[in-house]
Structures are given as C-alpha cells and as structure tokens.
Structure 1
Amino acid sequence: MVKWSQLWNSNGSDRRHRMSDEASALLPTRREHLPPPPIDAKEVTKICLRLKHQIEQVIPYEIEEDKVTKANSPIITQAVLDTANKAGGEDKTACVVYCLLIVNKWFKKQAAAELWDADLHDVRAVAAEMMAKRIIEAEEDMDYLFEEILLKRYATLVDGEPTEPANAVEKAVDLHAVTVIGSSGYQKCIAYLWRGWIVQDDEDPTRFVQYDNKTNTNLWAHLDPDRMRVPRYQNWVQIAVSLIYLGLFTGAVNTINPDADLDVVEGLLYIFTLGFICDEVNKFWKVGRFYISFWNMFNSTLYALLTVSLVFRVIAMSHDHDHENEKGDARGRFNELGYNFLAFTAPMFWMRLLLYLDTFRFFGAMLVVLKVMFRESLIFFLLLFVVLVGFLQAFMGLDIADDQVMDDIGFVMQAMLNAIMQSPEFEGFDNFAPPFGLILYYIFTFVVMVILLNILIALYNSAYEDITENAIDEYMALFSQKTMQFVRAPDENVFIAPFNLIEMLFLILPFEWWMDEKRYDHLNDIVMAVLYSPLLIVTAFLEQKEARVVKSNRKRGEADEDVTHEWEQVLHECDFEADGWDKKVQSTKPNVEFDTAVLEIKKLQDEVSEMKQLLLKMSEKSWGSDTLGGSKFDKLGQSSGSVRDEAGADAMTIASVPAMLSVVATGIPDRTASLSCAEEARKQHCVANTPPTQHTSSPSDFASAALYNSCYAFLLYPYSAPAPSTTSTQLARSTDSTMLPPEIPDSTMSKYIRTIAYELTEVLPARKMAEFNIPDANGCMSCKRSQIEARILELASNITNAKYAAKSYSSFHVWEAFRHVKSKRAARAVALDLIASMHPFGNCLTMASECAEELRAALEVEGPEYAEYVSRVQFVTNNWTQRAQSSRDYHCIAIVRLPTQCIVVDAVNCDTAFAVPLGEVLSPPGCSSIGLVYVASGDARLLVECGPVSPCYTLARPYSQGVFEYDDPYADIKDGLVGGVQNLAWPSKNYHIRGKLPSRCTTFVHQVWEQKPSFAHVELAAGTEVVVETCLTRVDFVKRKIAVELIPYVDWLMRPENAGLLERLRRRGEVMLSEDGEMFANVEVDLGGQGTYGFDTKAVQSLGLLDEVCGKLGMPEGEISRIAVVMQEVWAEHDEAKGRPAGRQWKELCTQTKQVAAKVTTQSCSREVGKTHRPRTSDNRKVPY
C-alpha cells in the first residue's frame, strides 16, 4: 500500500528507489526494499556466465536463425538443453530460465556495442530465448515450474551490487521475449495469475503460492475483500469505471448549463478526474521517468484538458451575469470556453476505452499493430521535422528579403501543412518572391508528398507485415504485461480510482498515522467489502462454480483448468494402442526430421560400408573359399595382370559372391534408386575390367563389382528372401525356432535382425547411438574373457534366483503407494521410503534396481579383473519416453552388454539370468510369447524385444513387412531408481488413459515350500526348498472384481489341514478348477456392479475366505480386504466426479467402509465371516463393507 505519510514526510531518507534498480524493471515491485533472493546474486551471475559460454561454443559463427528456432533444430538439441540444466548444479537448477533471459539481454547489448558481429550476437540471443522456452515446455511438474522456475525472484551482480530481485515472468515481460512468453508453461502461469489461482504470499512477497480456496465450494469462503487483488477482477472494475466515466462525460457534454452552474453529473465527472489524477501522480512518484509511455502521456493530456475545462467553469461561476456589458457576458464567455475544452476531449475519451479493452484478443492485437506502426513512424516524423524547419527558414528568408517585414509566416505555415495533408495550394505563391517562392514550394511539395509520405507508407506496410506474422505472440506479450502490472507487488489494500479518494480522505489521513497495523488492516477490509460488495458477490459465485470444475477435473486426473472439448467427449472409449490403430499410424508416418533423399543416401552409404567390411572379413578368414578361390580374391595384393588373365572365366564366379549378401541391399525401398545404383556400379565394374594398360586393379574394384551384383540381386528378389546359398545360413542363425513361422528360413531371419539394426541406426541420432557403444566391440574373444563372462552369468543367476524367492511382484502395491503423491518431484523425494514400505512386494523397476546394485557389488568383490565390468551393469527400460505424463507401458531389467552376448537379469519373469548371443533371437526361459535379439551396429550393441505379430500383443515398432514387431532398445533409466519412480512408476494423470479408471493391476506371491509341488517351481541353491508362485491376484477396477488364481489345489488345498477351508469354498460355489485339471483353483469375487456402493454380504464373506486362503499362502494378513477398500475409494472418486452419489454422503459411506473392512481383517479367519450382522446407521441404512 502507498504510505502517504512517508510521501508527505520531507525528512524521508529513502523517498525513491535507486536509479539502477528502476532500470531493471518497467514497474516497481515495492517501495520498501525486498527481502534478499533465495540464491546469492553472485552464484546466479556465475550461472549466467556458464550459460553464455555454452551458447558461444554452440554457435561459434553466424548461422541462419531458422536453424535455431525450428522444432527439430540441429543446434538446440536435447543434449544442449541437458547441459544447460546442469549449469546450476543439483540445487540451483530452477534459476536456469531466469539466467538464460539475462544472457539474452547481454547478447542484445553486445550486438548494439559490436556492430561488426551484431548478427552473430542476435542469433545467440535468439538461441538463449529458445533454450529457455524449451526448458519451460519440457518441465512437467507444474507446481515446480510456477513456484520455483517462473515466479521465484533472483538477482545478479551489476557494478558489484545486486540488482533488484525479479522473476523469470517479469524479466521476460521487461525484455519483450515473445518466444519465452509464447511457451505453453509461461502462458499457463500467466493464466493462473490472471485468475488468482496463484497469489503472492502475504508473509513473504518474494514467494508465490497456490490459492487455498481454489477447490472450496463454500460461497462464504470466496467473499474475501483480498480477492480484489486478482488481476481479472481489477480489470473488470477498471472497465466498469471507464464506462461510467464515459457515461458521465456524455451526460455532461450533451447537457449544457447556460447559467454556468455545475450539476451533479459534472460534479461526479470532475471527482472521477481528480481520482485519476491522484492515481497518475502516485504512478509517477513510484517509477519516476519510467512513467513516460504512450498511454500514460495520453491519459495525462486528457486529465489536463479536463482540468483546464474545470478551471474555466470555476472562473465563469466567479463572475455575475452582466448582459448590459458592451464586451459581452464574461460568465457566458468563460462557460462557453470551458465547454469547448470539454467537447475537445471527446475523441480522447472514446480512445481511452482501448486501454482497458486490450485483454480482448481483437482489441489487443489491434493495439499491438498500432503501437508498432507508431513506433516505426518516428523515423518519418524526424525526417519531416528536419525538412519542415529547413523549408520554413527558406520561406521566412524570402519573406524578409521581399519587404523587410515577416508578415506572411501564417500563410506559409498553413500552405506547408496543407501540402503535408496532400492538399497543396500553389495560387498564393505566384506573388511570393517570384520565381523563388513558387519553385521552393514545388520542391517542398515533391519532397513531402512523393518521397516522405511514400517512406511512411513503406514503413507502415513493413511494420504491419512483421507484426501480423507474429500477432499471436505479440498479443500474449501484451496480455502478460497487463497481468504483471496488476501482480507486481500490489497494494495491500486495493482501491481503484476513483475509490482511492476514499482511501486517502477517510482512511489514510484520519487513521493510518496513529492506528496499529492489525486494526488498520481490518478497517480497510471492512471498507473494501462495502465498496466492492456487488462485485464480490458475483466473483464469489463464479469462484464457487470454478471450484466445482477444478474438483471434477482433479477427480478425473486432469489439469485444473481443463475443458472437455467436443472431440474429447468420446475419446475415453477409444484405445488406439489396444485396437492396433496407433501401430498402423506409427508404421506409416513420415520421418519429418530428415529429408527423404538424405535418408536414402545415408542408407545406401551404410550398406556399401557394411558390404565392404563383410567381404574383407570373408577374405581374411577364408570364408566361402569354394566360390572365392577361383576368383583369385586372395591374390588381390598381387599384380593386376595375374588376376585379370582369368577375368573372363571368373566373371560369373565373382558375381555370385555378393548374391548371397543381397540381404544388405534388399533394404533399399526405392526401385528407381536401386536401378541408378546398379547402373553406376555396372559402369565402375566395366572400367575395372579394362585392359591392364588402361586401369590398375585394386580392392575397390571387387567392391564395385559386389555392389553392382548386390543391386542386381535386389532387383531379382525385392523384399523377399535372398537367393539360395550354402553360406547364407552361416551368417546368423536363430536359436529359438519357436519364434519363427515355419515358412520363414533362417537366412530371412538374419535379414530381419539386420533390418532391425539398420532401422534403429536410422531412427536414433548419432549421439544416442554412441551411448550404446562398448569397448572392444570388434576385438577377439580370449579364453580368459570367456571365463570372466561365464562367471558374470553365474553371479547374475545366483542373484536372480535369490531375488525371485525373496520378492513378490505387485503392480498394485506400487500404484497404491504413489497414487496420493501430488507431483513427480514429490514422488522423487519419497521414493526410497515408499519402496521400503512395500516389502515384500515390488515391481520390475524396484527388483531390477536391486539386482543391478547387488550384481555390481558382487563383481567388485570378485577381484580387479572384474572392475571394468562393474560399469557395464546397467539398469534399463524399454520405455524411451521416460515421462511421467506418458501412458506407455514399461518393463525394467538389469543387463550386462558384452561384445558377443548380453546377460539379462529379469527377476520378474525368470528365476535365473540368461545370455542373448549377438545376432540371435532368444526367448527368456519360461516365456515364449516374446523374444530378445542382440543386434550390432558398428561398436554399438542394442538389446531389443521382438515378437511375432499377434492381435493380443503389440510392440512399439512394427516391421514394414508385417512379420515382426520390435520395441525400442533397452536404455539406461535416467537418474536411477528415484528417476524411474519419478518418470515411470509414479501414476500421473495419464496413468489411467484419458480419465478412465486405473489400469488393471496384478499381484502374485512367491512362497518357499519344503516339498516339490507337481506344477512348475524353482529350486533354490540349497536344493531342499523350492519357490512356488501362487496367489495371482488380478484387480479389475472397471468390472469391480478381484480374482485370485493359481491357488494350488492338489498340492495344498486338498491337504487334510485345509479340509475345512476347502469345504467352505465349495459351499459358497466359488471354486473354479483351471484348464489344467485339478492342479489349480481360481476364485473370483464380484465387489458390486455399477451404481452399487459398499460391499454386500456375499462380498464380505468372500473377502474373508480370500484373506484366510492368501494369508496361509504367504500374503500379508487381511491384504485382500485392504485391496478391496482401496478399490472402493477409487470408485468413490470416479463416481463422485460423475455426480453420483455426491459429496458428503459418499464420504461417509467410504469412511464406514474402511471401518468395517478393518474389523473384517482383524476377525479370526477360522470362523465364517458371513454370519456376522452388519451394523446400521442412524437412518437405518446398512453399513457397506
């Protein structure tokens, strides 16, 4: 709030901010000094310098701006952004965006100072802005983005002193960084500020916090006078006051008072004007010279003219009516003059409305265009002023020389102004110092009308084209600037003009100087509540309605401001991944990142390189000697003559060699490109067979012939298996024939493996492929290394076996542990604690992480020769997006990538580790529905999941031939276990796709038995105990059912000690034998159909039986009932979001459900739970279980 007592205190020591502080912001923050920023200004400046150095290295010379700004920029890559994020270290990452804006300002200043490198520095400034935008848009945690990145204030050092703290939102507005302002996260932040969903903390003005009552549907909670700080409401009041002000002016100017008296309308008009004048004086006092702007000057001129009008009216009222005076009635003359000034301001009154209508897109875009056009017209007016002064001086000289008297200056100035208005008058200059006057006027008219006015038109046209191309971003910048005018440290008590007169006259003067602060604030709240009561009632109803919408959106897992559009109304019924549509789209979408010609050239280049390498390896290892021996290929190092003597006889033999390798060339999809490739190879081959006197043989000759024949073989067998060859099956062979349809030969399988490697090489950028490189990828395999790798496989198997016995898999427990965590950063903070609390349950993420850590520790113990393999133990996933908002499935394993094989540790699906040989497809033990292939591309080794086409099983990448599908290669999980929780396991709003109920979750228990069962089991190392997988619990949220499968029937349920339990299950009729005869029993419990709330008696009894069964098989006691209660909570949230039943009644039902379920879990499992009587509520309703 403005301290008027300090304003009038002549002894105030700090009446204004320092000029250096004011220079860093267009509007003030507070009159008092702000608290210091959270990060030291020196540290922030160092981060800025790091980022400046990075951008200077990334852009060492001038490049086109489009290469920096386009979406798939080769300059601003993800690696560059990751490095920029690391400039602040672990604890100062939030200030990177602010620092990039500071760097943007530095580069612009450097461009102005170093004109010879201005274009280079301008491109670097654009790069800094683009990096800030990309970082903002990549952040998924909105709370962290708003409160830490965009709205937390930081400062830098200038001349050894910290600048005034500012946040990224303010800095972007001050620098007019439209690229940053146009980012999605920035605009979402501005929208939250505009709506008042984010407000400044009353205790700490440097912090912005979420509005507490955003989801409060109580009307009285929103009847708060402090809500007048909300920019949207202040704008409404300003528009309303402006319309009333315009109405008062219209009434005053259209009702003339001949007696010169002031009526009520005129009195209110001038009171409003006084309030606006006080507001303008307050602004000027706060910001000093930075107050000067177009609209402020416009308003000040309007208020000055109205003040002049009022002065003349007061002077008129001071005179009496004197109709007999020869000079006329003085009262009437001054009254008429006052009304003339009042009428003169009419256009300005209507134009003033545009200032308050700029929040509407049409008016806002138009104002942006006008602002830029006026700014560009400054050049014209500067030139016009110079021309006018020059010609005016010439005409004045001619006038004085004519008759020694300057008596035609009025005529000259009028004629010059008419020429500017394109209405020149030449008649009067015939007798004006002839012939010089007329000639000079002709020249002036030509310069103004032909040259200067066309320059003005060109400037306007250029400015209009520039601004309309970027009109949306410019409008967003204007809207952001207006929002920040309201937000930047508003007065504690908002009194919008003319209500500021009430504050000044009835609050500040009589009370502020003596009343204590608490009572004074309460008094201000009362006055504001009375003044704004009509608007507060309206805003309270609107906020109550918004609170219901926000609450509903949160129930559906959507953003607070989400609006369901018409195309989203049926979207929840579509699952493009399940019906295979997404797979078809992915297989046919074009690669927009690279040009098609570039892709084809790269593909052909790789194929030629691979072919040469294969041929050289074959010659070195004497492969295919039966076909190559006659060609004298092993004598390529000898003289050309000895080889070419038999060229004719060996021509067909040489041509047959690459035919068996045509699989390399069959990947070329364009037949035309293949023909041109073959023709070029044929020409080179003909040159290679010229007489010795014309050409000298070299190994490249044979390569050219091989390329030609490979292309020829491709033309004969396009997109099919290569020509039969005795050596083709020796290149690569699948060890798992069950993965192949019977009609696919092994040679075609080799082609598929090569195709996977090639396609991944094309899809993945070079920097990503480098991450898969391993040392000594192409080195020879020594005996010692083979022993080490065998030992690693043994250690991995032991760890996998132990983990398989100790851990029970559960996607439900992982989901349930993290479902109430609000953000992914919060999930990261509590990840380790929540994972520890889930024991003995875990999912692939936790189990793979534990296996990787234990394997590294085991290798470190083995000895120094295993040290290099410790770093090769990787904790990986096949979900490359690794984004919290992604709904794509994921699987995590631990692997050790070696040159010739990959050791896989998958404790979820396998009880032992296994090795996937290079170039082979292998199914994990006990899992025939999927295969793993280890492919090579240069020094890179990639482990990929692949499988046959199946309607019930789809992978990410469909093979173009429709034979195989394969997934993205297994890659490192970012930031390890906590990063995996943050980006994979944490159930974000997209965990259950498009607002549906959560995915179906699964839980099964691993139990150690002392006797071997008749079904599948895993023997422990000791040999006396086995691990049995049982109690497979499937939770179906949509159908509201719990199914427990894999209950051992013959081996456990038919034991004598379980006879009573089996009898109760049979009596209930819920035991269903599986298809394996009497090996397993399955139990399914229906917990209630749609619209049913609570558990009925049958469900309660079934839950009791399941608790008893699963408890004896290793499940924690009462776990099934607890899972059922969690399902009820989810259904409650889902149904409440749809409006049935609503609010408090359903919360009571859920509370009673929890209480009864707790009683169920504590009851003795030996007695029949179904015989208990259900309690009743006060209104005689049965309590749901």
Structure 2
Amino acid sequence: MSETEQLLQDDAYSQGSRITSRTDVSPKTISALIRRVRALVRRLIDHEVEESSIVGAEGIISQEVVLAFHELGGDFVDALPFSLLQARKNFLRDASDSHSDASLNELRAVACEVIARRLVAKFERDSYDQGLAQGGGSHLSLTKKFTRVESDGDISIPTSALESAIDQHCTTLLSSTEVQRAVQAIWSGQLVQKYGPDGHSYFEPYESKDDGAFLNHFHPSRLGVPKYAYCINIVTWIFFLAIFTVQTRVYKSFDFYEALLWVMAAGYLAEDVSRWFKIGGIDAVSFWTVLDLATDLLFTSAFALRMASFIAHGDNSEFFQLRAFQLLACVAPLVWIQLLKLFDGFVYFGTLQVIILRMMKESAIFFTLLVLVCIGFFHALYALDAADEDRVADAATRITDALIQALLGGADFDLSAESFGYPFGHILYYAYCFTTAVVLLNILIAFFGTAYSEVVDAASEVYCGFFSEKVVSMVRAPDQFVYPPPFNLIEAFLVAPLEYVLPHSYYSKLNYYLQSVLFGIPLFIIAFYESRLARKVGGIVLEHKHTDQEEAEACGERGTLEDPEVPEDEINQGMKISKTSFEQLVKMINKSKKDEQ
C-alpha cells in the first residue's frame, strides 16, 4: 500500500475529520477549538443542575447535543476529545479560582468528560456502520497527540486525549468500552507506536497483523509492545531478585554474583533516570517514583561504600564492606515490594495496589497531624527537662524513643515518672498516649475504611483507569530502540553516542542487528506466538465487536432483526416469531412508560 493510499485509509477512520495520524495541527487551531468547546459548554450548562442529569443516559446530554458537539469540530473532529478534556481542566481551574462559580464550573467539567466519552462512542459506531477498519473510528481521536498555545504564549508538549484523561484521572472516560479497546490494542501491540521526522510519536495499526510469516514478526520493534515489555520485566526482575538473595545470603568477599548485582542495579537506576527526564514534571511523581528513588539511593550508597572498601586498607576496608552489606540488607523490603508493581497487570494485584495507594493518600492528613502532635509533646518534655538542674542524659534521643514506642504500643511510663519534671511530664505522657492511641489511630482507621470502600465499590472502573495509566506510561516516554535493563547500559555507553556520528539509516541498522542478537530468544518467542496467532485466527486484528446484524447474516436469518422469520430448516414449521410487529411492541412499551409517569 502506497503512502497516499494509507493516508486515504487513515482519513476514512475518522468520521467527518480530515486529520490523520501523521497530520500536523497548528497549536493555534487547537486552542481556538478549545475556546469554542468551552463557549458551547457554557451555553449548555448555564445554571446549576443536578449532576445526575448530566451523567444520566436520558439527561441533558442527549443525542442532539452530542451531534452538535460533533459538528462543532468541523474538519478537526478527531481533536474534539482532547479539546473537551482540556476544557474540563480549564473549568476545574476556574472553579478553584472563583469560589462563587465553583459548583457551576465543576458541573461543566463533568459535562466535558461525559460528552467526550459519548463522542468517542459515536466515532466507534460510525466506523462500524460504514464498514471501516475495526477500531479505526475511535483510536485516532484517543491516541493522536496535539499541542496548544498556553496562557504564557509557550507551546505545550504534545499530548493525546488518552494521556490527558489519565493525567486528570477521568475514570468515567477511561472505563468506557471504546477507550479500553484502544488501551488493550496498545497493550497487545495491535496499535504500534511510530516516530515522525520531528521525533514525535503516533499510533497506527500493526502492518503485519494479517501475515503468518515468522520472519515478518521477528523484529526488535516488538520489544516496545507493552505486553511483551511487561513479561520481559517480570523475568528480569525475578532474576535480579534471585541474584540479590544469593548476594545477601552470606557476608562474603567480592565474586561474580556481586558484580552481576551491581550491573543490574545500575541498569535499573539508568532506566529510572531516563524515564524521569523523558516524562519529567511534578505530575510524573507517584508513590512508585518515591519508592524507586529510595531503592536507587540505597543501592547507590551501598555501591559507594563497597568501592570505598576496595580503596581503603585494613580495618577501614572491613568497615566499609560491612556498611555496604548492611545497606544492601536494608534494600530487601523495597526490592520485594516492587513485585507488587510487576504483577499489577493482573486484576487482583492491580486492584490491591489501587487500594493500598488510595490508603496511603488518605493517610497524609493523619501523618500531618501526627508529626505536629509529636513535635509539640517533644518540645514540652524537653522544656520540662531543662526546667531543673538535673538533666537527663541524651534527653532528645530518649524522648524521641519514648514517643515512638508509645505510638507503636510500647509506652515507657517509668521514664516519664522518673524524669521530665514529675508530675507534669507524667501527665503529658499520658495525654500523648491517649491522643495517639485513641484519637489519631482511630482517625487513620476511618480514613483507611473510607478509601477501601470507595475503591471496592467502583473496583471495575478504578482498575480500568489504573490499567490505562500503566499501559500509557510504558509508551509515553518515547524510545524508538528498546533495551530492557540491564542491557540499557550497552545502549547508554556504546550505542547512543554513535547516534551523533552515524547517519540515521546506519544507526537504525546497528540497533536492529544488535537487538536481534541480544534479545534473540524473546524475539523468537514473540515471533512464534504472533505468526501462529495470525495463521490461526486470520490475523492479529483489533478486537471486533460482533453486531446482531452480522450474527443474523452469518446464521442466514430471514426477515429483519426486529421481525425475524422462522428459518426454513426449523422443525417448528408453520409457527411464527413475529406474530406482533416490532413497531406495535414499541408502542406498547411507550404507552407503559407514559402510564408510569
């Protein structure tokens, strides 16, 4: 297929749009579209209403409203979901800036998300009605990246509607069937990420989807498919965990296993640093980012002490080696916790992780109160100790230890009775134990219970958003040539410097042959799986939602969907299904609805 034919086919994917996956859209055009969307949403929600009337199937946002927003985009229909989500973000910003109109702007933000969801569903239906490529009607509007002019005049980074929905935690949109189909297509490699001359990425259907030839699927680019990268990460991390366990099992001198441990740790450190620089920003910080940072710091500190042990002599060398081993031992809990992140592709572990992360967020208020209470009582006890001439040895350390033990259920009342200005110190210590054990801990339990119930009650929607975030995060930091850790060290020190020396075609060939050799085994497994799947089911295609009409045609059904006839080979000859016409049944239902009203 020529490039022109491909562009025409891409055009057919999008109903009423002249945008393709490779079309450059001016940031000024997108900004104008966002402002037009906001103007129409203001007209739609011009006064406060019940939120249920916005999200409900028969509420304010009717089919006519969705069609009006569809027409609003003109030749840029595929940019509407992104524009609506950006309008949602702006309405929420307006709500925080102006408290008098906060409720109204929050309702408008909800309307933007609901309209975006229903527009994507319309794109999907239109593609099926016109017999276009499977899934092509909606994935372009979700995965194509747009830029806009920011308030300070700068151009924003390219962002897709899917990425914007994840950043804004739009669970309503992310849990829709159409979005999940697109996410699953990216996850399984049915939609592949490609790169334009400007370095920006875009998604297109996998060109070898119908090909059952083994060699056509044996390509290093398949290492970038999230599902395959996920499996490789699990295998390499389990191997790393085994090496870590062997190395920390016995305190010993330098050997092959220790060298392998440091190499793999350096690979994971380089991956974390690379991901941070590619995504960047405070929005990229999450619980796992903090955990990765703590793990990397401990590994780096342990490595520095280990290198110091080689440079030092005598007792100093033994001291540094011991401290390095002790720091490695302290990394163990963080290393094992990382397994939870690796297995979050399974629904059970993913939902469990969402619950834990939500609990951690809810506990922020508790820890804020706890820190303030601890500082206050520490100050009081330390001041009481300074009130007389009999100072307690290491007062700060003993007070800190007593406060922590009391928090964990092991209060030392003898210490407070003997020192710290008895009886005032003793009374204060009782007050501290009551405040932490009875008040604050029960507040924490209440927060945990609320977070757990909220996640469990909407477990399906929450997991859809969580899974979408996981998949998109794996392709959001563009990497044309994927080298999983620790092989990314080879790329960083040997291959990447050649990018500035070799022509792009030679550099691509170098990566192709190098990756084919380094990852020959996983590439062989991937190619074997995909080629067998293509021969078995007729191609690796976007999951097709079979319609009732298609099933009726496959069964050779006569009549219509609404008024079918008994098949000729049916044993119940002479009997009828449609004794009462479908239109008459509809009238009966409508009459029943009117009577209920």
**Overall identity of the aligned pairs, in %:** 29
Given the superposition, is the C-alpha separation of residues 36 and 577 from structure 1 closer, same or farther in structure 2, using an over 3 Å criterion? Answer: closer
Asked whether the equivalents of residues 215 and 550 of structure 1 are also in contact (C-alpha less than 8 Å), the reply is no
Q: Does residue 64 of structure 2 align to residue 79 of structure 1?
A: yes
Given the superposition, is the C-alpha separation of residues 571 and 487 from structure 1 closer, same or farther in structure 2, using an over 3 Å criterion? Answer: same
Cα distance in structure 2, aligned partners of 1:182 and 1:441: 50
- The residue aligned with 1:224 is 219
Asked whether the equivalents of residues 153 and 168 of structure 1 are also in contact (C-alpha less than 8 Å), the reply is yes
- The residue aligned with 1:506 is 494
- The residue aligned with 2:534 is 547
**Cα offset for 1:513?**
3.9
Q: What is the one-letter code of the residue matched to 2:174?
A: I
Given the superposition, is the C-alpha separation of residues 58 and 146 from structure 1 closer, same or farther in structure 2, using an over 3 Å criterion? Answer: closer
**3-state DSSP of counterpart to 1:85:** helix
Alignment coverage as a number of residue pairs: 543
Given the superposition, is the C-alpha separation of residues 245 and 112 from structure 1 closer, same or farther in structure 2, using an over 3 Å criterion? Answer: same
Q: Does residue 81 of structure 2 align to residue 97 of structure 1?
A: yes
Q: What is the one-letter code of the residue matched to 2:171?
A: V
Residues 567-609 of structure 1 show CA distances to partners (whole Å, capped at 9, x for unaligned) of x99996595977999799xxxxxxxxxxxxxxxxxxxxxxxxx
Q: Does residue 433 of structure 2 align to residue 445 of structure 1?
A: yes
Cα distance in structure 2, aligned partners of 1:96 and 1:289: 26
Q: Does residue 23 of structure 2 align to residue 41 of structure 1?
A: no
**3-state DSSP of counterpart to 1:957:** helix
- The residue aligned with 1:174 is 167
- The residue aligned with 1:107 is 91
- The residue aligned with 1:341 is 327
Q: Tell me which of 958, 963, 979 is aligned to 2:584.
A: 958
Asked whether the equivalents of residues 37 and 206 of structure 1 are also in contact (C-alpha less than 8 Å), the reply is no
Q: Does residue 451 of structure 2 align to residue 458 of structure 1?
A: no
Residues 322-361 of structure 1 show CA distances to partners (whole Å, capped at 9, x for unaligned) of xxxxxxx554444333222211211111101122222111
Residues 511-570 of structure 1 show CA distances to partners (whole Å, capped at 9, x for unaligned) of 4443222212111111100111100011001111232345279xxxxx743599xxx999
Cα distance in structure 1, aligned partners of 2:490 and 2:469: 28
Q: How do residues 186-197 of structure 1 correspond to structure 2 at under 5 angstroms?
A: 186-197=179-190
Q: How do residues 49-68 of structure 1 correspond to structure 2 at under 5 angstroms?
A: 49-68=35-54
Structure 2 length as normaliser, TM-score? 0.83
**3-state DSSP of counterpart to 2:492:** helix
Q: What is the one-letter code of the residue matched to 1:178?
A: T
Cα distance in structure 1, aligned partners of 2:244 and 2:296: 12
- The residue aligned with 1:376 is 362
Q: Tell me which of 532, 543, 553 is aligned to 1:561.
A: 543
Given the superposition, is the C-alpha separation of residues 571 and 94 from structure 1 closer, same or farther in structure 2, using an over 3 Å criterion? Answer: closer
Asked whether the equivalents of residues 38 and 153 of structure 1 are also in contact (C-alpha less than 8 Å), the reply is no
- The residue aligned with 1:601 is none
Asked whether the equivalents of residues 113 and 170 of structure 2 are also in contact (C-alpha less than 8 Å), the reply is yes
Cα distance in structure 1, aligned partners of 2:291 and 2:436: 28
- The residue aligned with 2:418 is 431
- The residue aligned with 2:16 is none
**3-state DSSP of counterpart to 1:191:** helix
- The residue aligned with 1:285 is 277
Q: How do residues 328-407 of structure 1 correspond to structure 2 at under 5 angstroms?
A: 329-403=315-389, 405=391, 407=393
Q: Tell me which of 158, 180, 184 is aligned to 2:150.
A: 158
**Cα offset for 1:230?**
1.3
Q: How do residues 317-336 of structure 1 correspond to structure 2 at under 5 angstroms?
A: 317-318=310-311, 329-336=315-322
Cα distance in structure 2, aligned partners of 1:960 and 1:353: 55
- The residue aligned with 1:496 is 484
Asked whether the equivalents of residues 214 and 550 of structure 1 are also in contact (C-alpha less than 8 Å), the reply is no
Q: Does residue 470 of structure 2 align to residue 478 of structure 1?
A: no
Q: CA RMSD in A?
A: 3.1
Q: Choose between structure 1 and 2: higher helix proportion.
A: 2
**3-state DSSP of counterpart to 1:92:** helix
- The residue aligned with 2:594 is none
**Cα offset for 1:472?**
1.8
**Cα offset for 1:436?**
0.6
**Cα offset for 1:86?**
1.6
Residues 386-445 of structure 1 show CA distances to partners (whole Å, capped at 9, x for unaligned) of 111111111110011122646322222112112221332222212221111011111111
Cα distance in structure 2, aligned partners of 1:236 and 1:472: 23
Cα distance in structure 2, aligned partners of 1:431 and 1:960: 86
Asked whether the equivalents of residues 396 and 406 of structure 1 are also in contact (C-alpha less than 8 Å), the reply is no
Given the superposition, is the C-alpha separation of residues 334 and 560 from structure 1 closer, same or farther in structure 2, using an over 3 Å criterion? Answer: closer
**Cα offset for 1:152?**
2.1
Structure 1 length as normaliser, TM-score? 0.43
Q: What is the one-letter code of the residue matched to 2:55?
A: T
**Which moves more between the two structures, 264-273 or 447-456?**
447-456
Q: Does residue 113 of structure 2 align to residue 129 of structure 1?
A: yes
Bigger relative CO (Cα 8 Å, ≥ 6 apart) = 2
* Structure 1 portions without partners, runs of 5+: 1-34, 322-328, 554-558, 585-948, 963-1185
Asked whether the equivalents of residues 565 and 577 of structure 2 are also in contact (C-alpha less than 8 Å), the reply is no
- The residue aligned with 1:862 is none
Residues 305-330 of structure 1 show CA distances to partners (whole Å, capped at 9, x for unaligned) of 22332333334444566xxxxxxx55
Cα distance in structure 1, aligned partners of 2:280 and 2:207: 36
Q: Tell me which of 192, 203, 224 is aligned to 1:199.
A: 192
- The residue aligned with 2:400 is 413
Residues 131-152 of structure 1 show CA distances to partners (whole Å, capped at 9, x for unaligned) of 1111112222155434541222
**Cα offset for 1:283?**
3.1
Asked whether the equivalents of residues 92 and 106 of structure 2 are also in contact (C-alpha less than 8 Å), the reply is yes
Q: Tell me which of 258, 262, 275 is aligned to 2:267.
A: 275
Cα distance in structure 2, aligned partners of 1:572 and 1:37: 38
Q: What is the one-letter code of the residue matched to 1:518?
A: S
Given the superposition, is the C-alpha separation of residues 265 and 450 from structure 1 closer, same or farther in structure 2, using an over 3 Å criterion? Answer: same
Asked whether the equivalents of residues 557 and 565 of structure 2 are also in contact (C-alpha less than 8 Å), the reply is no
Cα distance in structure 1, aligned partners of 2:150 and 2:313: 64
Q: What is the one-letter code of the residue matched to 1:505?
A: F
Q: Tell me which of 443, 449, 456 is aligned to 1:468.
A: 456
Q: What is the one-letter code of the residue matched to 1:301?
A: A
Residues 466-496 of structure 1 show CA distances to partners (whole Å, capped at 9, x for unaligned) of 1222222222222212222222352221112
Asked whether the equivalents of residues 564 and 578 of structure 2 are also in contact (C-alpha less than 8 Å), the reply is no
Q: What is the one-letter code of the residue matched to 1:229?
A: G
Cα distance in structure 2, aligned partners of 1:39 and 1:216: 33
Given the superposition, is the C-alpha separation of residues 243 and 67 from structure 1 closer, same or farther in structure 2, using an over 3 Å criterion? Answer: same
Given the superposition, is the C-alpha separation of residues 313 and 45 from structure 1 closer, same or farther in structure 2, using an over 3 Å criterion? Answer: closer
Given the superposition, is the C-alpha separation of residues 516 and 69 from structure 1 closer, same or farther in structure 2, using an over 3 Å criterion? Answer: same
Residues 978-1021 of structure 1 show CA distances to partners (whole Å, capped at 9, x for unaligned) of xxxxxxxxxxxxxxxxxxxxxxxxxxxxxxxxxxxxxxxxxxxx
**Cα offset for 1:123?**
2.1
Cα distance in structure 1, aligned partners of 2:338 and 2:206: 33
**Larger-Rg structure:** 1
**3-state DSSP of counterpart to 1:214:** coil
Q: Choose between structure 1 and 2: higher strand proportion.
A: 1
- The residue aligned with 1:537 is 524
Cα distance in structure 1, aligned partners of 2:226 and 2:340: 17
Given the superposition, is the C-alpha separation of residues 395 and 576 from structure 1 closer, same or farther in structure 2, using an over 3 Å criterion? Answer: farther
Given the superposition, is the C-alpha separation of residues 474 and 582 from structure 1 closer, same or farther in structure 2, using an over 3 Å criterion? Answer: farther
Cα distance in structure 1, aligned partners of 2:213 and 2:112: 46
Asked whether the equivalents of residues 564 and 577 of structure 2 are also in contact (C-alpha less than 8 Å), the reply is no
Q: Does residue 300 of structure 2 align to residue 307 of structure 1?
A: yes
Residues 817-864 of structure 1 show CA distances to partners (whole Å, capped at 9, x for unaligned) of xxxxxxxxxxxxxxxxxxxxxxxxxxxxxxxxxxxxxxxxxxxxxxxx
Cα distance in structure 2, aligned partners of 1:292 and 1:952: 60
**Cα offset for 1:377?**
0.9
Given the superposition, is the C-alpha separation of residues 577 and 120 from structure 1 closer, same or farther in structure 2, using an over 3 Å criterion? Answer: farther
Asked whether the equivalents of residues 229 and 490 of structure 1 are also in contact (C-alpha less than 8 Å), the reply is no
**Cα offset for 1:221?**
0.5
Q: Does residue 100 of structure 2 align to residue 116 of structure 1?
A: yes
Q: Tell me which of 237, 240, 249 is aligned to 2:244.
A: 249
